[in-house]
Structure 1
């Protein structure tokens, strides 16, 4: 019996979530330094829950079928769904969960966290219950732990935030109010990032050369403090310089690669004020700071021609 034939359309609920970007502080944030992350609404996830007679079914670009037969790569979202159903006291049956995402997975754009948050929202809507932000974060972090091993928690926090966030482990979240307009371009290298492996690489290096690597991590922390000041004072030239300095340190701790370095070098050649990787690294995306809106469009087109798999120009400003 096909899922479509037994769908009961009068019972349906939807949840949505946007993407996120790390502006600065990758990897250092796992080791106690601050990071700055930005909500990225150009791409996102929609989850639709419908009542269907039978099992709990998943319908996504990665898998279609009974949730119990889902591949191991989806263990994070499967466990998030199970825990959410348990909290909501929804029986583990008679559900179809459709997940539609425009966020490329494995590119450092918060795909796993966005999917988890959208699905959790849709299940709460389906049960006619309200969720707290704390519940969203706790349930999304189940998925994040499967995806990234020991995640900082910054992805779910940013995805549920309307503003750029200042995040530091075991400290209250702070929100950044940028002054002026900052035109960025995000470009996809076309190579899947592996955040978990990158985190493991840094951890291994810390054991081998703790003094040297901690120095790099502390330097990224110092840069992050300066980036906040640049955002709040509309210092575009300084911000660009700081992004370049952050990239230098990320390369030194082994989380950049040739696919990212080529795009970063090209963006700088084409007039970007600064450029660096964003997210876990070793594949994934870069973020470049353009001079202005016109330059961001020109830079986007040139990065496409150069070979970027996808490009997203966007503006960061205080709404």
Structure 2
């Protein structure tokens, strides 16, 4: 079955389940992908560069507007049943669980003066939660794409990016940047999304690893992380402190050549945080140039350097991520790094097809020997961004 046929079958199945649950057919089915960040971690809120891509795992929503102000939400994965809310009574910070993501989008639309009616929604997602693959943003991007159409709001992709960021920051309480939404809303099959987070400029960069005999493995360590926890917020605060001390608008404005002088003006911890951002921005630019000129097989050392920087300077790795990365490298991966906000989640390993099983087996074995929960390991490929699929 090809991708289009799978999509059609999946959309039809979700529409049928929606009708069984809510008693009427949905007005449509919309989907938005999770993302893998190839390189560029924590650079987005520093107005820097990132290189994510939308993946072939996504959140899918069937939606039908109602004639009142009631919102009813149900997830195929949820044990809590239908979550009900009222469009006139949404309060930032008051909603828990997965429902805060679609409700945050409704609230953010209202903040823009867009009238959102009540609606019924059924969600199905195969983006692993807590794995650093942006499962929450996939939900938000599917919902904003649907409501943008259903309300006739006419928002551009760039406007939907900033709107969902506002929902994350002000309603959910997570101080995230714009990378995840940009990949989910603006991704394209076979390409990574080279995003300048200062002005939202996007360039699509070819990244078809399989054409060069490579696969990108995702190793989900099963160590759940959350962007709304203190670790992420404290790293962002350190970056803002460093930028202020160096007299720049954002760390995007600090060059690698400036780091030596910066070391004398910052405390040791803040300097390490700054050094990660500055060198990571430079690595993103190098990866983009390398992909364009030489292809995926030459980016491995830059992935390795990125992980070392996150582990040592930004200090957002964990033993499970380090074990995944080190084991993958030593058993055939040409480059590996943690991906996502850190403190858990997933690692990626760019691996020759002929070494894929060897890497998989070695990582599982290493986790067992260390007494860690067995990881989930799967491949991802660059996929299309958010869209209506029925």
Which residue of 281, 287, 302 corresponds with 1:227?
287
TM-score, scaled relative to structure 2: 0.70
SS of alignment partner, residue 290 of structure 1: strand
Report the equivalent of 2:218.
186
CA distance 1:8–1:50, shift in 2 (3 Å): farther
Task: Find out whether 1:115 has 2:148 as its counterpart.
Answer: no
The structure-2 alpha-carbon separation of the partners of 1:29 and 1:148, relative to structure 1 and needing over 3 Å to count, comes to farther
Structure 2: runs of 5+ lacking an equivalent = 1-17, 242-266, 368-373, 384-390
In the alignment of these two chains, the number of paired residues is: 311
How far, CA to CA, are the matches of 1:175 and 1:97 in structure 2?
A: 32
Counterpart pick for 1:97 among 89, 113, 121 = 121
Candidates 62, 72, 79, aligned match of 1:57: 72
Whole-Å separation in 2 of the counterparts to 1:250 and 1:102: 27
Match of 1:295 among 333, 337, 355: 355
Q: What CA deviation, in whole Å up to 9, does each residue of 1:118-169 have, x standing for no partner?
A: 1122334545776532343233223332456332201111112213111222
SS in 1 for 2:133: coil
Give the secondary-structure state (helix, strand or coil) at the position aligned to 2:124. Answer: strand
The aligned counterpart of 1:262 is: 323
SS at the partner of 1:164? Answer: strand
| Pairs within 5 Å for 1:22-101 | 22-41=37-56, 43-50=57-64, 55-60=70-75, 61-62=77-78, 63=80, 64-67=82-85, 71-73=95-97, 74-84=99-109, 89-92=115-118, 95-101=119-125
* C-alpha separation in 2, matches of 1:5 and 1:211: 57
CA distances 1:15-67 after superposition (whole Å, capped 9, x unpaired): 111111111110133223312111112x1011111356773111023453213
Q: Does 1:152 align with 2:170?
A: no
C-alpha distance in 1, partners of 2:33/2:224? 20
Equivalent in the alignment of 2:166: 142
Of 240-249 and 194-203, deviating more is 194-203
The Cα RMSD (Å) is 3.1
Contact 1:57 1:96 in 2 (8 A): yes
Q: Are the counterparts in 1 of residues 108 and 167 from structure 2 also a CA contact under 8 Å?
A: no
Q: How far does residue 258 in structure 1 lie from its aligned partner after superposition? A: 0.7
Structure 1 runs, 4 residues or longer, greater than 6 Å off: 3-6
* Preserved CA contact (<8 Å) 1:184 1:316: no
For residues 120 and 39 of structure 2, what CA distance do their matches in structure 1 show?
A: 38
Q: Is 2:343 the partner of 1:282?
A: yes
**Offset at 1:294?**
3.0
After TM superposition, the score normalised by the length of structure 1 is 0.84
TM-superposed CA distance for 1:250, in Å, is: 0.4
Q: Distance in 1 between matches of 2:151 and 2:103?
A: 18
Distance 1:12 1:59 in 2: 16
Kept in 2, the 8 Å contact 1:116–1:139? The answer is: no
* Residues 60-119 of structure 1 deviation map (CA, whole Å, 9 limit, x = unaligned): 234532135984344343121244478663433xx2111111112222211111101111
Q: Distance in 2 between matches of 1:110 and 1:186?
A: 13
Offset of residue 310 of structure 1: 1.6
